[in-house]
Amino acid sequence: MNWFKYRLPQTPDIICGTSDSLIHGLGQGFVVAPFSNASENIHTIPFDFIPDSKEIIAINSSLPLSTPRVDYYSEIKAIKEELNGKRGKTVAARVINLDISIDINATFDSLCQAYPEAFVFAFSTSETGTWIGASPELLLRKEEDFISTMALAGTRPRTEKDEMWDKKNSEEQALVAEFIIGSLRRHCGSVTAGKTFTKKAGLIEHICTPISASMPSSDIADESDDSFNNTLRRLLIELSPTPAVCGSDRLLSLNIIRKYENFPREMYGGFCGPNGIEDDIAFFVNLRSAKISKDAVAIYVGGGITPLSSSENEWMETELKSKTIINQLKTSL
């Protein structure tokens, strides 16, 4: 049984669905895609049935072990050497493995209450295993004849003061914005970047630039035709993984990640969201998330590494990010 559960940002409605089938590719339903090779591994869970609460359970699958601190520091050092002082970034990820059994429904509700501005999601398929998260990052959303997205990067502990961002975080966010704007210009009409602001996300905050673009005129009329679906798929593959979760030079960053990380990211850093459910077409980056097994949870977190990065600061940043999930986990009785 494949199932999904989600709540869009700043809405009260929780949408659930199950299906005995799984569509390979971009279809109508709840779409899930991994961090890498998304073009070949997008899957869609059709909205065939409304599940009973007892059907929202985790698949018993293998999980990666926790990343030792020394290994994470080594990866950061290696990334900085690969960048060789040049302007750029690569994201280093780590895993925190907890030997606990969680109540998925209770944890989902807790995430909804704690993070009203996040996309809260959970899904499970035979291909992906079971995941849950509260993502602050919109990848792509269609609204009438426009699509919207955001450049989200830079991280620091949440503060209620209106403070300036440091050079490291400002440069990191600028790289993400440049990539997204360039990608949209290759496939869309006019592209507009909104005013950059500080976006609160639980215990931390990020630099955020909202970005919108007009859909190509040939794809506006009918969302059910092949031209629209092909454009949507091209945009998703072009944007994912973004520099916010991969790096400013995608190929270089993917090679570095494969070389130095000792676990597969799987769905972490990919994307998920509804495609044609309740008329919504919205995809969010799989961030602040965890893969769940029946008796353990693996929380995935990462940080953007630039030549200005400090290993200690990056470790503490991932510790704060992990609290987004860890603080809301509800164990099974």
Mean predicted lDDT score pLDDT of the chain: 93
Q: Is the pLDDT of residue 127 over 60?
A: yes
Task: Determine contact, residues 172/306, Cβ cutoff 8 Å.
Answer: yes
Residues forming a β-bridge with 259 = none
Q: What is the CATH number of domain 2-326?
A: 3.60.120.10
pLDDT, one tens digit per residue, over 50-78 is 999 889 999 999 999 999 999 999 999 99
pLDDT tier, 224 (very low <50, low <70, confident <90, very high otherwise): low
Determine the distance from the C-alpha atom of residue 33 to the mean position of all C-alpha atoms in its chain, rounded to a whole number.
10
SS3 306: coil
Q: Is the pLDDT of residue 220 over 50?
A: no
Distances (CA, A) of 270 to 244, 320, 331: 11, 21, 26
pLDDT, residue 219, reads: 47
Report how far residue 327's alpha carbon sits from residue 333's, in angstroms, rounded to the nearest whole number. 17
Report how far residue 237's alpha carbon sits from residue 51's, in angstroms, rounded to the nearest whole number. 30
pLDDT, residue 229, reads: 78
Over residues 159-185, the mean pLDDT reads 92
pLDDT, residue 23, reads: 96
Over residues 116-121, the mean pLDDT reads 97
pLDDT, residue 160, reads: 83
Please list the helix, strand and coil fractions of the chain in percent, rounded to the nearest 5, in that order: 30, 35, 35
pLDDT, residue 221, reads: 43
Task: Determine contact, residues 327/114, Cβ cutoff 8 Å.
Answer: yes
Over residues 292-311, the mean pLDDT reads 95
Who contacts 189 (Cβ-Cβ below 8 Å, separation ≥6)? 213, 214, 215, 216, 217
Over residues 267-284, the mean pLDDT reads 96
